Amino acid sequence: MNGRVNNLLHKIRRSASLEHEENWATTSKSDADKALDLGNGLDAGVLGSKSCQLAHNVDRLLSDSSALSYFINFMDSCDKLNLVKFWMHVDGFRASIANIPQNSRATAEKMCQLDAVHIYKKYIDQDSPSTIAIPKKLYNKILAKINADIFDAQIFDEAHLFVKELFELRFFPEFLGSIYYKKHEFDVLLREECDLMDILRIESLLAGFLELSAESGDGHWVEMVLSVDTWEKQWANTADEETLEDAMAIYNKFFSMQAARARIPLSDESRKALESRICTENGRPHRDAFSRQKLSALEYLTQKLLHQFRQSAVFQSYLNELSSTIINSIELPRIGGRRNEKRASSVTSSGRSDSLPSLITQHQRNTEKMVSCDERKQSECSSASLTDAPHSSTEPPPTPSATPTKKSARLAEIDSMGRYTPLYDTTFTTERENAQSKLKMTLRRYLDKSGLREEELAEEVARTIIADIQTMVHSAGST
């Protein structure tokens, strides 16, 4: 392995020195002064540059308070807010343990032990309405430590990691496709200090930025940044030889003296440092082998093109599209309101209590209750009218359509047929709707006569049934 590494270093330096002598002789002194060295001057500026603001992974999401607020709203909409609360509570618990002063350690540990018991009762205990339902083995391990009444700083570490993996595998992919992530994305892109890597991670904006960089002659800088970013993401999952081959391909394309067109300028010192990070003794390049060059390129592109791109039609169009999507989105309310912390036994792990069949059944029951309540009121009114002015026993009661309803201060009412009737003037709010509904009714009258006839028959049957019920109630009241 050492022999292979030495051969690689020898080839790189030999080709670099030959090409360096050939190219540098043809480079004017002014051009050499203007050349940007991507290995120097990083400590002052580039290494302290902004990191990505978009939450493109779970670690970034949980470390950014702004992004975390959108994720909290998303988890609340999924009725899984208890998972985020547990993660944040344990995170604070671990931070408080790390900052315990030595002079009051015994007292602080007792306070932390009480906090651990509180976390267990609220999130771990299976009888708690806010339980996070961790695996049985992990639950028993935490329970044993709680019962032992011995302070353990790592008592919730495994559960904390379990919840984080749950975020990563299940909820974070759903969050990326939700309206809450679009709000987070809009919030980040709207800022003046928007990071260039955020733009390069969005496919629609990447195409526009590539076009702009190509027009300015800086397309190879963007290509280098994307190549290095992809290599860094795949570094942990690729074999040593493949990782080394990919690193050499990036070096030869962008940093070698032989790369005349797409060459990124480097000084001899920076080039040697880069080669040593690529060709290591164990044969595997360092993960941060190109990190200095990548950060420097981002700084260069940011200063030269970012402001111009933010003013472009591509960027503004994408912002307008995001804004329209957010404004026109409809967040449907959950049936039953927010999560009821007193509810524990009604929802099982295999399904939710607010499934579609149960919601339909509940709606039918509510409708039946309203109809029966209205019928009861009408029967009481008819009984009272019988005592004041008796009718013939053979005279049928008035039909529901002819029964007057008492006006009140309410905005609307439900008649005996279960229909919603507004009690306010709707002339100004329904002119357009009335015109559209008249047009629809006209079309249906000519195109769907059978459907209209079925609706009329259904309404007549409903009226007959209700009239029969009222006749029975009237007869029972008169006897």
> 19-45 pLDDT, tens per residue?
443 443 333 333 333 344 555 544 334
The pTM of the whole model exceeds 0.75:
no
Q: Which pLDDT tens digits describe the chain residue by residue (479 residues)?
A: 445 444 544 444 444 444 443 443 333 333 333 344 555 544 334 333 445 588 889 999 999 999 999 999 999 999 999 999 999 999 998 888 878 777 777 788 888 888 889 999 999 998 899 999 899 999 999 999 888 877 888 899 999 999 999 999 999 999 999 999 999 999 999 887 788 998 998 988 999 999 999 999 988 899 999 999 999 989 988 898 899 999 999 988 888 877 666 678 888 888 888 888 998 888 899 999 899 999 999 999 999 999 999 999 999 999 999 999 999 886 655 544 444 433 333 333 333 334 444 544 555 565 565 556 555 655 555 554 444 444 444 444 444 444 444 444 566 777 766 676 766 565 555 554 555 555 566 665 555 656 667 777 777 778 888 888 888 887 777 66
In terms of C-beta distances under 8 Å and separation of at least 24 residues, what long-range contacts does 269-274 make, across chains too?
269/39, 269/40, 270/37, 270/38, 270/39, 270/40, 271/16, 271/39, 272/13, 273/39, 274/39
- Does CATH place domain 58-177 in 1.10.3470.10? no
Local structure of 386: helix, strand or coil: helix
Rounded to 10 deg, the angle between the 157-166 and 81-98 helix axes is 140
State in Å, rounded, how far the first CA of the chain is from the last one. Answer: 108
Report the topology of domain 2-16+191-328. Answer: Regulator of G-protein Signalling 4; domain 2 (1.10.167)
What is the distance between the alpha carbons of residues 55 and 34, in angstroms, rounded to a whole number? 36
Q: What is the pLDDT of residue 416?
A: 66
Q: What is the pLDDT of residue 343?
A: 38
Q: What is the pLDDT of residue 80?
A: 92
What is the distance between the alpha carbons of residues 358 and 360, in angstroms, rounded to a whole number? 5
Residue type at 424 in one-letter notation: Y
Question: Residue 449 — φ and ψ, nearest 5°?
Answer: -70, -35
Task: Kindly report, residue by residue over 121-143, the tens digit of the pLDDT.
Answer: 999 998 899 999 899 999 999 99
Q: What is the pLDDT of residue 104?
A: 77
Q: What is the pLDDT of residue 162?
A: 94
420 forms beta bridges with 414
List, as one string, the DSSP characters of 410-478.
-SEEE-TTS-EEE-S--TTTSHHHHHHHHHHHHHHHHH-HHHHHHHHHHHHHHHHHHHHHHHHHHHHHH
Q: What is the pLDDT of residue 379?
A: 57
Q: Where are the domains of the chain?
A: 2-16+191-328, 58-177, 356-478
Q: What is the pLDDT of residue 195?
A: 86
Nearest alpha carbon to residue 119 among 96, 145, 140, 93? 93
